[in-house]
Amino acid sequence: MTVAKAIFISYRRCDSIDIVGRIYDRLVAYFGANSVFKDVDSIPFGVNFRQHLEREVSHCPVLLAVIGPEWLTITDKQGQRRLDDPADWVRVEIEAALKRDSLVIPVLVGGASIPKDTDLPDSLRGLVYRQSALVRHDPDFHRDLDRLIQRLEEVFSRLTPPAGAPSSPYGALIDDLAAALTAAKSPQEPTPRPLTRRRWLRLMGLGLMGGSSTLAVRHWRQSLQELTPNRIAAPLPSLATLPDRLQRAWTAATDLSSDRTDAYEFVSVTVDEFGRQRHQAQVATQAYTEISLETPTGTVLLPLVAIAGGQFLQGAPAAEPGHAAADLQPTIATVDSFWMSIYPITQAQWRAVAQLPEVNRPLATNPAHFKGDDDRPVEQVTWMEAVEFCDRLSRLAQPGLSPFRLPTEAEWEYACRAKTTTPFHTGETLTTALANYDGTYPYRQEPVGTLRGTTTAVGSLGHANAFGLYDMHGNVLEWCADAWTQQVPEAIDEDIETDSQADEPPTTELIQADPSHTPRPHVEPPVRAIRGGSWQSRPHHCRSAYRTGLTAHSRQRDVGFRIVRSLLLENQADSGPGTS
């Protein structure tokens, strides 16, 4: 998958505005206008500029700190040095980038040099140890910019995962094997010092050229662990399991391979808090497959895309707009690689599988409330029926492959986020041009949207997330394999008021966490987690982190599901298909 290239230029107008304008024009000509953020003039009126600048910096993996001859000493009207003011724009920008450990590149112009660390506020002293770039005036300007652009491209290529299929499972295996060998040789040695970006650049001695992609990935994982210490159980692998692990890695690698010459192509976009498009990426990958389901009326295809496993920040901070009591506290979670259906299961796919031999229970041919288009998602399906769908489909799979099943909550959120940490995989907000939900209640400052009042054909709005998945926000809520772990209100079997303003009475039986209710010691039938929001949900109920529960026997006209399959052999998988 590709990741958008984005560059933030931090500078002082009275110090370097002329040459910054030329730098900006060259970068825009090469990377595009949507990939370069420069001026505070683009900050909307009435917006908290600190939060806006920090948010803009967070979207850009690279910050260019342009330093001219007077950058360090410029003062305000009261004679105070601007850098000593915590609200100084330049200070806010660089602080935000250093805090996120983004790649900060000092760009020296006008004969300036890197300041001493003793001359900088404590929060900016890390700037001194970043490898700098020199940009001179004519006749050397274009030559210096060519060199800078070339190195930026090299940096992006090293900080961005390679396009195409998910990373090989051998990478994690080699890391674990190395860790086990180290532990066997010196089990009492202390934990090595974390490899920060600064140490990485120093050790590699490559400046803007960066290091290897392996080092970059290992640094990223270590920094995530530092965010929430002691929240991840990370036992060292045993060498005794090496043969089994090698066989498992080989199986996963073989399972991911494909002989197909065509590619799955999709478009992914992100927007700002005003709903304006920030980035658009055209992505193509061969790491996908299609299941052919033969029916009396023809062949029905069920496409899946391979998702490389990894670590991610699950849950949402309390400061996220729309944060709910049931949201998980931000915690580092790890998921293995898996296949996931590109769309929620459609009515055509459901009807094809419902005709297969029964495993544990019968299935209605089409239980959906909103009919008329076979590409609409199926809804009014109970959790047990969704599991039956997976069980029947698993019988069509090749012998020895892992069964189809519902995703865990961790897998669902990892897939939905697609490497993002914003409330939605689309960025800071959602719009009804990107998802089917109740847009009459804006989430941030985007224009008021519409309430369609019905499901829509899967993928019909035309934009996927960076993993190639459609309709992760809205359209239908989606069953997960997990049991609901929050307290359950007394009136569990009674419909409660939803956030829909549709003409029909509400049907979504949502179970919200509420400390004022006394939990019942035993509930039948069980409650299962659902994710993603629906066509009648307000935007804060469509967030990547939003979660709620629903009784497993419930049939709701806004609840469907999608399926996953692990990249392991059936007898090596941690768990098989769900059972009732």
DSSP 360-421: SS---S---SS-S-TTSBP-S--HHHHHHHHHHHHTTSPTTBPPEEPPPHHHHHHHHHTT--
Burial of 196 (0-12, 13-18, 19+ CB in 10 A): middle
Nearest to 72 by CA among 49, 52, 88, 56: 88
Nearest to 428 by CA among 449, 441, 445, 410: 445
Distances (CA, A) of 67 to 11, 19, 109, 144: 7, 11, 6, 15
Rg of the Cα atoms in the chain: 26
CA 57 to chain centre: 17
Which pTM was predicted? 0.55
CA 525 to chain centre: 33
Check residue 49 and give its pLDDT: 61
Peptide bond before residue 447 is cis, with ω within 30 degrees of 0:
no
Q: Where are the alpha helices (DSSP H) in 260-382?
A: 347-354
Q: Which amino acid is at 221?
A: R
The residue ranges of DSSP E strands in 38-79, in sequence order, are: 62-67
Question: Which residues, at least 6 apart from 253, have a Cβ–Cβ distance to it below 8 Å?
Answer: 168, 169, 170
Check residue 88 and give its pLDDT: 86
How far is it, in rounded angstroms, from Cα 200 to Cα 274? 37
Phi-psi region of 91 (alpha: psi -120 to 50; beta: other; left: phi over 0): alpha
CA dihedral of 243, 245, 248, 249, whole degrees rounded to 10: -110
DSSP state of 45: T
How far is it, in rounded angstroms, from Cα 70 to Cα 12? 9
Burial of 525 (0-12, 13-18, 19+ CB in 10 A): middle
How many CB atoms lie under 10 A from the CB of residue 136? 15
7-159 and 288-580 agree in CATH topology: no
Q: What's the start-to-end Cα distance of the chain, in Å? A: 37
How far is it, in rounded angstroms, from Cα 275 to Cα 489? 36
Are 92 and 100 in contact by the 8 Å Cβ rule? The answer is: no
Distances (CA, A) of 393 to 45, 349, 510: 54, 10, 29
- Longest distance between any two alpha carbons in the chain, whole Å: 83
Phi-psi region of 394 (alpha: psi -120 to 50; beta: other; left: phi over 0): alpha
Q: Which amino acid is at 171?
A: G
CA 288 to chain centre: 19
Exposure of 179 in the CB half-sphere (CA atoms within 13 A): 15
Check residue 129 and give its pLDDT: 83
Nearest to 532 by CA among 574, 474, 493, 576: 474
User: Domain 7-159, what architecture?
Assistant: 3-Layer(aba) Sandwich (3.40)
How many CB atoms lie under 10 A from the CB of residue 511? 24
How far is it, in rounded angstroms, from Cα 574 to Cα 334? 14
All structural domains of the chain with their residue ranges: 7-159, 288-580
Nearest to 544 by CA among 403, 429, 434, 388: 429
How far is it, in rounded angstroms, from Cα 458 to Cα 343? 6
How far is it, in rounded angstroms, from Cα 453 to Cα 493? 24
pLDDT in tens for each of the 580 residues of the chain? 334 578 889 898 888 888 888 898 899 888 887 788 876 555 555 656 666 666 767 778 888 999 999 999 999 888 899 899 988 888 888 888 888 777 889 999 988 999 988 999 988 988 888 888 899 988 888 989 988 998 888 877 766 544 444 444 444 555 555 555 555 544 444 444 554 444 444 444 433 333 322 223 333 333 333 334 344 444 555 556 655 655 555 555 444 444 455 789 999 999 999 999 988 888 888 888 888 888 887 889 999 999 999 999 999 999 999 999 999 989 999 999 999 999 999 999 999 999 999 999 999 999 999 998 999 999 999 999 999 999 999 988 766 678 999 999 999 999 999 999 999 999 999 999 999 999 999 999 999 999 999 999 999 999 999 999 999 999 999 999 999 877 543 333 333 333 433 333 334 444 444 444 444 443 456 999 999 999 999 999 999 999 999 999 999 999 999 999 997 544 443 333 333 3
Burial of 74 (0-12, 13-18, 19+ CB in 10 A): middle
Peptide bond before residue 139 is cis, with ω within 30 degrees of 0:
yes
**Phi and psi at residue 255, in whole multiples of 5°?**
-65, -35
Looking at CATH, the fold of the domain delimited by 288-580 is given as paralog of FGE (formylglycine-generating enzyme) (3.90.1580)
